[in-house]
Structure 1
Amino acid sequence: MDENVNISLNLFIEYLQIEKNYSQYTIEHYQQDIKGFFMFMSEQGIKSLDKVEYFDIRIFLTKLYDQGYARRTAARKISCLRSFYKLLVREDVVKENPFSLVSMPKGEKKLPNFFYEEELSQLFEACETVSPLGQRNKALLELLYATGMRVGECSQIKMKDLDMDVSIVLVHGKGNKERYIPFGSFAHDALKLYIQNGRQELIKDEKSHYHLFVNHRGGPLTARGIRGILNKLIDQSSLSGSIHPHMIRHSFATHLMANGADMRTVQELLGHAFLSSTQVYTHVTNEYLRKTYMNHHPRA
């Protein structure tokens, strides 16, 4: 296959990092999707990116379905490849974007899963605050729930982004957009303990740096590291079922709206570019209120 294929991929990754400011986690998924298409090109004997035609994409889609991919996953891959080719057209690598001709019907939007308040209590109870790592984990969990920020955003927080006097953190979001998010007393107390004790212990043998959250060696904690910590805390708690770290962000939004926060405020706090992304939580909130009613009303 033409060596320009890998050059084009590197160009796209650089675009996602610099212009789109996507997290490393998201970039890795995009990279896997594109490499999967490169493998398909090789199998089909397509030598270069400008030789891909609409008919080839239909074969690619058929192959995805034959391999058992859900419609939503296939749509995500096509969206990724459409963005990839859009950049290549912009940079004059190819003349046309064959993926612009492909339209896929949107499936039913799945409601986000979230933790109920009693479930979150179990998660917080799984954090010990005696060891430096325990203090870090508690501060991490408290800040994520207090702000609703993404895991990737949390890994980028520097000490200078945190204003402990007024309990506000500056978050660097997608597309180089910044937003200020307040946090409450629980997160404030956990952060104070961690910064004054645990963090100092963890970085004492390391060269000084400015990341808020550090790993066990004292270096900056990555987004992948944060997910690993959260998954471990979930395993240590008494929670069961299908659980993932992003549910903390969903819980933040759901609990705010269930307690009367307006949608525009929640949109700004979450860093959503479009209000439609936030509107899904109105449906989740109805389920949250129903369960709360059924659990607590004496005549339910």
Structure 2
Amino acid sequence: MFEFENALDEYLSHLRIERGASPRTAEAYRRDLEGYLAFLDGEGVTDFADVNRDNVAAFEKSLVEEGLSTATVRRRIAAVRGYHRFLVREGLTEANPADSVDIPKAADRLPDVLSIEEVGEMLDAFVGERPSDLRDRAILEVLYGCGLRASECVGLNMDGVNFDDGFLRVFGKGAKERIVPIAGAAERALRQYLAEGRPALALKAASPRADDLAAVFLNQRGGRLGRQSIFNLARKAGRVIGRFDLHPHTLRHSFATHMLKGGADLRVLQEILGHADMSTLQVYTHLDRTHLHEEYAHAHPRDTM
């Protein structure tokens, strides 16, 4: 074990100095690898040359049997792989026994979504005649009604709003331009804000910059609203319905999910959301299939027989 532990100290130094790992990250690696070395010791393995694939696979199995999450198991096996890779590089052993051990596949993480009822309850709570009230309602309606990212909402400019043709011109990741439809409640809220709320906020700018003059959503000083304000607004909105960690992206996920449930074509949705790769949308199709399964279970006459 002494040899193992010495090598572990060297590996952690390598992570900190050569790989630039933070002290917190290095400490996490230490805990994970100390657990691994303790397991090997319990198996009677005390020399680098004696560690084989079966030892690593048995360690992985022990983690699963502990009831640890897939993410935790993946992280610990990845740490073991990195440690053995370092041992090979330093000439302390000839092969990496962890390389051929399969890391558990990460479970698809379904995006958090609101129900249609939750969205309605949340938005109905944002009423008021103050300029900031009109702005906040418009932001929430646009995030949900158009599926925008927080950064796209912040970056929305006046010349990107076209009510006559019913679209917004936004700039997504990589400054890629796209056209997003706007209609219904989102359009009404944005129209009201631009007519009654934005002019009052714009007057508060002592010496407005060109960028502020171009912005759709303004802060209380008449400047372009920042992303943090969007995040704060989402949290405030979430508290209305008991979702205390609501993120702006949740409204985007909810938009996509509700569109699919309503029968939207997947390729149209891809264009609206600005996803370059169709595979990015597969998680939403999974959600939609879950919905169909629930509907089938509820409606099919022989499902419970």
- TM-score, reference length from structure 2: 0.63
1:204-262 CA-to-partner distances (Å, cap 9, x unmatched) read 12034211111122211111111101111221x13346533311001111111111112
1:139 to partner: Cα distance: 0.7
Check conservation: 1:122, 1:239, Cα contact below 8 A.
no
Match of 2:257 in 1: 254
> After the TM superposition, which residues 1-300 of structure 1 pair with which residues of structure 2 at under 5 Å, given as runs?
44=13, 51-52=18-19, 62-63=29-30, 65=32, 71=71, 106-206=105-205, 207-208=207-208, 209-235=213-239, 237-240=240-243, 243-289=246-292
**3-state DSSP of counterpart to 1:246:** helix
Amino acid in structure 1 at the alignment position of 2:263? G
**3-state DSSP of counterpart to 1:169:** strand
**3-state DSSP of counterpart to 1:112:** coil
1:167 to partner: Cα distance: 1.8
How many angstroms apart in 2 are the aligned matches of 1:283 and 1:132? 40
Q: Alpha carbons of 1:66 and 1:296: their partners in 2 closer, same or farther (altered >3 Å)?
A: farther
Q: Alpha carbons of 1:176 and 1:124: their partners in 2 closer, same or farther (altered >3 Å)?
A: same
Q: Alpha carbons of 1:168 and 1:288: their partners in 2 closer, same or farther (altered >3 Å)?
A: same
Q: Alpha carbons of 1:188 and 1:294: their partners in 2 closer, same or farther (altered >3 Å)?
A: farther
Q: Alpha carbons of 1:65 and 1:255: their partners in 2 closer, same or farther (altered >3 Å)?
A: farther
Structure 1 gaps of 5+ residues are: 1-40, 79-100
1:63 to partner: Cα distance: 4.1
How many angstroms apart in 1 are the aligned matches of 2:215 and 2:260? 31
Check conservation: 2:256, 2:269, Cα contact below 8 A.
yes
How many angstroms apart in 1 are the aligned matches of 2:31 and 2:278? 32
Moved over 6 A (4+): 45-48, 58-61, 66-70, 292-297
How many angstroms apart in 2 are the aligned matches of 1:288 and 1:163? 34
1:296 to partner: Cα distance: 9.9
Check conservation: 1:173, 1:271, Cα contact below 8 A.
yes
Aligned residues with identical type, % of pairs: 32
Check conservation: 1:119, 1:239, Cα contact below 8 A.
no
1:8-27 CA-to-partner distances (Å, cap 9, x unmatched) read xxxxxxxxxxxxxxxxxxxx
Amino acid in structure 2 at the alignment position of 1:271? G
Q: Alpha carbons of 1:107 and 1:200: their partners in 2 closer, same or farther (altered >3 Å)?
A: same
Structure 2 gaps of 5+ residues are: 1-9, 35-67, 79-98
Q: Alpha carbons of 1:221 and 1:290: their partners in 2 closer, same or farther (altered >3 Å)?
A: farther
How many angstroms apart in 2 are the aligned matches of 1:292 and 1:140? 32
Check conservation: 1:144, 1:248, Cα contact below 8 A.
yes
1:14-71 CA-to-partner distances (Å, cap 9, x unmatched) read xxxxxxxxxxxxxxxxxxxxxxxxxxx9x727796xx449xxxx97873485799984
Alignment coverage as a number of residue pairs: 227
Check conservation: 2:149, 2:248, Cα contact below 8 A.
no
CA RMSD of aligned residues (A): 3.8
Q: Alpha carbons of 1:166 and 1:112: their partners in 2 closer, same or farther (altered >3 Å)?
A: same
Greater RCO, 1 or 2 (C-alpha within 8 Å, sep 6+): 1
How many angstroms apart in 1 are the aligned matches of 2:214 and 2:31? 44
Match of 2:60 in 1: none
Match of 1:24 in 2: none
